[in-house]
Structures are given as C-alpha cells and as structure tokens.
Amino acid sequence: MTTFLLILKKEFRQIFRDPAILRLIFLMPVMQLILLPFAADYEVKNIKVGIIDLDHSDYARQLISKLEHSSYFRLAAYSSDHHEGLEWLESEKADLFIEIPPRFEASLIRENKASLQLFVNAVNGTKGNLGSAYTMGIIQQFNQEIRKDWFEFPKFNPEPFITVIGTSLYNPYMDYQRFMVPGILAVLLTMTGGFLSALNIVKEKELGTIEQLNVTPISKIQFILGKLVPFWLLGFVILTLGLLVSYVVHGIQPGTNIGNIYIFAALYLLAIVGFGLLLSNFTSTQQQAMMVAFFFMLIFILLSGLYTTIESMPPWARKIAYLNPLTYLVDAMRMVLLKGATLRDLWPHIRVISAIGFVLNFLAIYTYRKRS
Amino acid sequence: MKDRILDTDMSIEAHNLTKKFGDFIAVDSISLQVPRGEIFGFLGANGAGKTTAMRMLTGLLRPTSGSAFVAGYNIATDSEQVKRNIGYMSQKFSLYQDLKVWENIEYYGGLYGMSLRQIKEVTDLMMHKLDMDQERNTLVSQLPLGWKQKLSFSIAIMHRPRIVFLDEPTGGVDPITRRQFWNMIYETAREGITIFVTTHYMDEAEYCGRVAIMVDGRIEALGKTSELKTQFGASSMDEVFYMLARGAKRNE
C-alpha cells in the first residue's frame, strides 16, 4: 500500500510541476468550452442569395423583399440577365439564386399558378440543403399570403388543411449550443484522459526511467494502476470545470441528476485511460503516440454521433460507432444534461462502457511487458 | 536444472548465455561465475554486447538460450525474485529530473517496498554520506553530473541488494568524481554486495577483482588483471584490450 501511495505521489508531483500539462488540463478545456459551442453550430446564416428578375412586376418585388427581410438571407446580387446567375455561383458571389421568369405575375393571376426556378450551389451539402429548405419555406409563406390577398376563398375550403403543430421537448428552442456543449465536453474528457496517460508512459520510455522501473519488483497491476489513477482523477477535475463553464457561459443547468454524469464519467474515464495505456504499450516515442492517438481521436469524434446521427451512417460505420466509447459518453451527457436521465435510463450505456473499459484495461495489463 | 542453487556463494552464474536478434548474435554463449562480494569488471568496445548481457542478467531481456542464476534465482523462470535482490544503474541517467533529490529517493524506496520510516532513515544517512544535506530539496536536473551519478548509485543500493549492476556508471564524469565513485564502489563491496560493472576505461579495470573482456559478443579473456597482463605479455590493460579488440569485426 505504501508502495502504491508513493507511486501516486510521484505522478502528481510530476504533473503539477509541468506547466505545459497544467495548461492542458485547466486552461485548454475551459477556453475551448467557452468558445467552440458558439462556432460549431449547424444553423446556416447569412446565405448569399441572388435574384434574376425577368418579370419586374409588383409580386416579384414583394417576394424579393420577403427574402431580404429573413435573417437567413443576404441579398448579394440582382440582375435581369439570365446568364449572370451561374456566374454568381461560380464566383461564389451567391450561394443560391432564384430566377423569376417573365410573366410571373401575369400567369399567377390569370392561370392561378406560376413557377420559379431555384439554383443552389451544393458543394457544401449542409449549406445547400438548408438554403434551399429555407427558400422553399419563404416562398410557401409568400404563396399563402397572396392567396389571401387575391383569391376569395369559398365558404368551405374545398381542400382540407392539415396543420402540424410541433413542440420541441428537452431543448425547446432547438438551440444548437445546448446540443453541442455536452458533446464538446465529452471530447475534451477523452483527449485529456486518453492522450495524457499515453504520453506519460511513453515519456518514461524515452527518458529510460521505465527501464529502472522494470528492474524493480513492482507488479504490472501496481504499475498500470499507478498510471491510471492520476489521470482518472484529473478527468473529474476537467469534468467539474467543464460543467461549471457550461452553466455559467451557456446556461446549461445540470439539474438534480448531475451525480449520474459523474457515475458514468467514472466508468468512461476508466475505459479511455485504459485505451491510452494500451496505446503506450505499442509506441516507443511521444511522437508516435501523438500520431496514433490523433488517428483514433478523429475516428472517435466523427463516428460518435457528436456531429451526425449514428442511425444515418452506413452499416459498417454504425458498427464502429457502437464500439466507440465516445459514442456512449456523448449520448449519456446529452441524456443527463438535456433530459435529466436517471441511472435506469443510462443502464444500457453503463453496461456497454463497463465492458469496453474492462476489455481495454485487461489488454493494457496483458500487453505490458517488464522484459522484452 | 533446479531453480534455486542452495550452496550459493556465487552471486552470478551464467552458462552459455546467448541472445540473438534475428540473425545477429549479440551475446554468443558466455559463461561466467562471480562470487559474493567481488567487484567484477565487464569490459568491451561499443557494441561488443556488454549491455545486452547485463540486461539479460537483470531480467530486462529474455535469453535466447543458455541459463543464468542471479542471487541463486533462475533469470528465465524467477525474474521477479531476481529483481528483489538486485540493484541496477543503467547507462541512461535514470533519476527523474523533475523531481527533487528526496522525492526520487522516496519513490525508488517505495518501489522496493520500503516503509516510510525506513526511507526516511536511509535518506538521512545517504544525504550525510554524499555530503548533500543542502541539496535535499534541489531538483535533480540542477545537480552536476557527478553528483547525479553518485546519487544514482546510492539509490541503486538503498534497498541493500545482494548484487548491483552498473552500466558504464562513470561515463562523462571528471577524474576526481570518478575516484570518489570508485571509493563508493569499494565500500559497497566491503559490505558484501557484489558489484558487476561495465566500463571501457581500462584504468578502471585495474580497480576490479577480476575482469572479463568481451569482443563481438564472446568473452575472449577472463581473470585478474595481473594474470591477463602476463597471459598476453602486455604491460597494461590498455594493451591487453587493444590486442583483443583489434580483431573485432563489429564497430560502431
């Protein structure tokens, strides 16, 4: 027991004596958590819209002004020349343009219908999709309004209307920050837990101190636990800082089930620190360890449901996502922070993360070699 | 072969110990015996296989063939017992630069299972002997190299091992410190601790009880320095070494 306590003491002394690691642990998560959620936002704003007006009618102008007044759009170009539109897209002067054909107003009044053409630059898929969806919405609205203006409705509407009233639960304003903050916090926890533990052991390899350690009678378990426990504890410090920042800066109240986050994070950190230790067994320089960790980090982040839903991934990617420990943390964080999930709700996740943690740590201990 | 030799006055016994890395034979069937309390010098040019041999004897490396007993324990099957009974000072400086002197002592004491009280006693004694009472709270990175080496050695023997392995302990150290270092080695040997030391300073060979000279992975000569000088008709160990090492094919 004395041995183990002295090992822990030594690790903490080294951590607190290294200003770079301290910054990494305390400053980096706070800064990132304050700033990133404002930037990593799905809402597409300031879409540059171009108008080709071949009609110059009153209705055409009404439609244009409606687009102009939407907060999503910015009127970037206007012309009466059909060919210019494509040039706008080409030169990125506009993200999309609407062509109002000649006799738009006339056919709308006389024939009771008219068509518009919408051209979208879909290089950035998200922007293209959302841009065209917003435009459709506005045109639809416009359509409703002029119908009210011009056509007298019969007493009984021949077409029945179905109105859908949507209510957003858990995140009532569909605020992306509320969605992203728990996710980013999960990533930060993974980075510090997984990276720092890996780098720590590999650093001892580089310095040669690990050799000195390997000629002593300490057991594998003591060695691994001595490396695991400090980073596991640091994970809680980062988590607490992160939750404070989300509350103060982003107004996310953790609610009464905050303890569940800690319980889940305890298991998660065990898994991810084990991953770091495993990684260190197969690398011999800090550079290698960084590169490999980075490789896995990208997979962890992209296949975790942080940005995209797992259900819409291709089957092979979904399989990876279900093996990815970050998937469960991201989801659990969101469940607790946004829905106030109970341990019972988290139970399926708890089972999986415990299993992943067990396997990773077992492998880490199994593959650690005191002699070659 | 039985796992434990009981009639042991031998601290180290190696029989045809061999290590191959692929086709390369780093250590080629070496045999040697080192009795308790001896200062045994292990000489050889760079790349001759000294460090590899020592790494096998300390349980860091598994031998390809042959066997060895250290402190009476088989290095192949009982390496954890071996580790309890040896101290090791590696070629790379292996104290933590970002820890203070006393913190390094405390940590290594802990690894050998010493109690806090024992560690404190040993620390006081060590600081006094090394005349480093003022440096207790100094970061190891700020000590001069000679002090670091002496500290390293003291830490390697703080748990009173039966044998201590020193891998080029005086590399890069000034002559005065080297002399002090060898005085520490003598004192340790007098206490009954066996010393197994590699070096390529031939004047240091003269301080050893017996020496083995390794060339290309093999032991080409073994004995007291006076015997070796007679055997090879040389006036100094330098000459003996030169005669043997001239034939070496490996060179770094």
Q: Is A217 exposed, middle or buried (0-12, 13-18, 19+ CB in 10 A)?
A: buried
pLDDT at A153: 57
pLDDT at B1: 43
Where is the domain boundary, A150, A166, A191? A150
Q: Quick check: B107 and A10 CB within 8 A?
A: yes
Where is the domain boundary, A150, A168, A184? A150
Tens digit of each residue's pLDDT (9 = 90 or more) over A206-231: 988 888 888 998 888 888 889 999 99
Q: Residue A229 and residue A5: Cα distance in Å, rounded?
A: 11
Q: Which amino acid is at A217?
A: P
Q: Quick check: B99 and A212 CB within 8 A?
A: no
pLDDT band with cut points at 50, 70 and 90 for residue B94: confident
pLDDT band with cut points at 50, 70 and 90 for residue A115: confident
Residues 6 or more apart in contact with residue B229 via CB below 8 angstroms: B235, B236, B237, B239, B240
What CATH number should be reported for the domain holding residue A140? 3.40.1710.10
**Cα A155 to Cα A11, A152, A158, A159, A160, distances in angstroms:** 81, 9, 9, 12, 12
Q: Are residues A90 and A109 in the same domain?
A: yes
Distance from CA of A273 to the nearest CA of B (A): 22
Tens digit of each residue's pLDDT (9 = 90 or more) over A116-129: 888 888 887 777 88
User: Measured between CB atoms, does B133 come within 8 Å of chain A?
Assistant: no
Q: What is the ipTM, given to two decimal places? A: 0.85
Report, as an integer, the average pLDDT of A7-36: 88
Interface test with B, best of A215, A218, A225, A370 (most B CBs within 10 A): A215
* Assigned token pair, B195: 């010393």
pLDDT at B9: 76
Q: Are residues A195 and A121 in the same domain?
A: no
User: Measured between CB atoms, does B83 come within 8 Å of chain A?
Assistant: yes
Question: Which chain A residues touch B97 with a CB distance below 8 Å?
Answer: 207
Please determine, for residue A158, whether its predicted confidence score (pLDDT) is greater than 90.
no
Q: Are residues A242 and A141 in the same domain?
A: no
Q: Quick check: B116 and A2 CB within 8 A?
A: yes
Q: Quick check: B112 and A216 CB within 8 A?
A: yes
Interface test with B, best of A9, A11, A16, A212 (most B CBs within 10 A): A212
Look at A279 and A68; give whichever has higher pLDDT.
A279
Asked whether residue A164 is assigned to any structural domain, the reply reads no
Q: Residue B222 and residue A135: Cα distance in Å, rounded?
A: 92
Q: Out of A9, A213, A372, whose CB is closest to B111?
A: A213
A17 φ, ψ to 5°? -100, -5
Domain ranges of chain B: 97-160
* Complete edge-to-edge strand list for the sheet that includes strand A47-53: A73-79, A47-53, A96-100, A117-120
Which residue in A133, A120, A144 sits closest to A63, CA to CA? Answer: A144
Asked whether residue A165 is assigned to any structural domain, the reply reads no
Q: Residue A106 and residue A98: Cα distance in Å, rounded?
A: 18
Pair A249, A184: CB distance under 8 Å: no
Q: Residue B99 and residue B97: Cα distance in Å, rounded?
A: 6
Q: Quick check: A216 and B99 CB within 8 A?
A: no
Q: Quick check: A371 and B83 CB within 8 A?
A: no
Pair A300, A324: CB distance under 8 Å: yes
pLDDT band with cut points at 50, 70 and 90 for residue B200: confident
Please determine, for residue A172, whether its predicted confidence score (pLDDT) is greater than 70.
no
Residue linked to tokens 């050893």: B208
For chain B, helix, strand, coil in percent to 5 are 35, 25, 35
pLDDT at A24: 82
pLDDT at A159: 58
Distance from CA of A231 to the nearest CA of B (A): 18
Q: Are residues A102 and A216 in the same domain?
A: no
Distance from CA of A222 to the nearest CA of B (A): 10
pLDDT at A326: 93
Q: Are residues A225 and A268 in the same domain?
A: yes
Please determine, for residue A162, whether its predicted confidence score (pLDDT) is greater than 70.
no
Report, as an integer, the average pLDDT of B75-96: 89
pLDDT at A305: 85
Question: Which chain B residues touch A212 with a CB distance below 8 Å?
Answer: 88, 90, 94, 108
pLDDT band with cut points at 50, 70 and 90 for residue A42: low
Q: Are residues A329 and A354 in the same domain?
A: yes
Q: What's A279-337 look like in SS3?
A: HHHCCCCHHHHHHHHHHHHHHHHHCCCCCCCHHHCCHHHHHHHHHCHHHHHHHHHHHHH
Q: Which amino acid is at A78?
A: Y
Q: Are residues A133 and A213 in the same domain?
A: no
Asked whether residue A158 is assigned to any structural domain, the reply reads no
**A203, closest residue in chain B (CA to CA):** B96
Asked whether residue A163 is assigned to any structural domain, the reply reads no
Please determine, for residue B163, whether its predicted confidence score (pLDDT) is greater than 80.
yes
Range of the domain at A278: 2-40+176-367
User: What percentage of chain A carries pLDDT values higher than 90?
Assistant: 27
Q: Quick check: B96 and A14 CB within 8 A?
A: yes
From the CB of residue B180, how many other CB atoms can be counted at a distance below 10 Å? Answer: 16
pLDDT at A79: 87
Asked whether residue A105 is assigned to any structural domain, the reply reads yes
Look at A343 and A372; give whichever has higher pLDDT.
A343
Asked whether residue A274 is assigned to any structural domain, the reply reads yes
Tens digit of each residue's pLDDT (9 = 90 or more) over B205-215: 889 999 999 99
Q: Quick check: B112 and A215 CB within 8 A?
A: no
Please determine, for residue A131, whether its predicted confidence score (pLDDT) is greater than 90.
no
Please determine, for residue A154, whether its predicted confidence score (pLDDT) is greater than 60.
no
Please determine, for residue B6, whether its predicted confidence score (pLDDT) is greater than 70.
no
Q: What is the largest CA-CA distance in chain B?
A: 55
| Number of domains, chain A | 2
pLDDT band with cut points at 50, 70 and 90 for residue B2: very low
Q: Out of B88, B98, B111, whose CB is closest to A3?
A: B111
Residue linked to tokens 């063939």: B65
The B residues from 30 to 59 touching A (CB cutoff 8 Å) are 58-59
Please determine, for residue B4, whether its predicted confidence score (pLDDT) is greater than 60.
no
Asked whether residue A257 is assigned to any structural domain, the reply reads yes
Q: Quick check: B110 and A5 CB within 8 A?
A: yes
**B90, closest residue in chain A (CA to CA):** A212
DSSP letters spanning A104-139: HHHHHHHSS----EEEE--SSHHHHHHHHHHHHHHH
Q: Quick check: B92 and A7 CB within 8 A?
A: no
Question: Which chain B residues touch A370 with a CB distance below 8 Å?
Answer: 59-60, 79
Please determine, for residue A160, whether its predicted confidence score (pLDDT) is greater than 80.
no
Q: Quick check: A209 and B116 CB within 8 A?
A: no
pLDDT at B5: 47
Checking DSSP bridges between strand B10-21 and strand B24-35, what pairing results, if any?
antiparallel
pLDDT band with cut points at 50, 70 and 90 for residue A66: confident
Mean of all residue pLDDT scores within chain B: 90
User: Measured between CB atoms, does B144 come within 8 Å of chain A?
Assistant: no
Q: Residue A179 and residue A41: Cα distance in Å, rounded?
A: 9
Q: Are residues A12 and A119 in the same domain?
A: no
User: What percentage of chain B carries pLDDT values higher than 70?
Assistant: 95
User: Measured between CB atoms, does B232 come within 8 Å of chain A?
Assistant: no
Please determine, for residue B38, whether its predicted confidence score (pLDDT) is greater than 90.
yes
Which pTM was predicted?
0.79
pLDDT band with cut points at 50, 70 and 90 for residue B197: very high
Please determine, for residue A288, whether its predicted confidence score (pLDDT) is greater than 80.
yes
Least confident of A72-81, A228-237, A284-293, B79-88: A72-81
